[in-house]
Amino acid sequence: MKVLIAYSTKYGTTTTCIKRLEKALQGMEVHTVCLEREQPNVRDYDIVLLGGSIYFGRFRPALRQFLKEQHSLLMEKPLGLFWCCGRTEDHEYYGEKHFPKSLRDHAFAHIFFGGTLRIPKSSWIDRFLLHSMRSAILESEINDGEYTPTLPTILLESIDMMATYVREAARRL
């Protein structure tokens, strides 16, 4: 039983999620591929898990391209979909908008893994945007009368739930 985890990331939050997922899938034959570096052959796997993080309201180009090019093959495989983002209040919108309905209907799981607003060391423009996103959370909580801003975080229980669904899907094969 071969499981492919194919994902896209820029600063590694999704990679952290995938490490947790790999641990939760211990005992299964799991092959993890970062789409920014490699293009896996979906045909080689029994189960496919696919996802990535949101930038400027969209998935990164590698994942968008993979979704487009591999759509028909993905429809033939037991499929789990996941995504990460920093604006957690928008996660449902992203999850619905960016995975085609056909794939969502076909998938055995469609799960938000959370996200972070960790400030990267590199690009100043990304640092600026992340600081703005953090401030927006603070502002909205002050306006709501709350003064303990809650930054987004990785949702460990959602990642573990994906692992449970994968094991169930494997039993059905």
Chain residues that interact with ligand FMN, rule: CB under 6 A: 9-14, 53-57, 84-87, 90, 115-117, 126, 129-130
- The two three-digit tokens of residue 168, written as one number: 């169930």
Q: With respect to ligand FMN, which residue has the nearer C-beta, 3 or 63?
A: 63
Residue nearest to ligand FMN (CB): 86
Q: With respect to ligand FMN, which residue has the nearer C-beta, 40 or 86?
A: 86
Distance CA 86, CA 15 (A): 15
Return the beta strands (E) in the chain as ranges: 2-8, 29-34, 47-55, 58-59, 79-84, 109-112
Task: Tell me if 46 sits within 8 A of 78, measured CB to CB.
Answer: yes
Q: In the complex, what is the shortest distance from the CB of residue 65 to ligand FMN, in angstroms, rounded to a whole number? A: 16
Q: With respect to ligand FMN, which residue has the nearer C-beta, 47 or 85?
A: 85
Q: With respect to ligand FMN, which residue has the nearer C-beta, 10 or 104?
A: 10
Q: In the complex, what is the shortest distance from the CB of residue 117 to ligand FMN, in angstroms, rounded to a whole number? A: 5
Name every residue whose Cβ is closer than 8 Å to that of residue 160 and which is 6 or more positions away in sequence: 20, 24
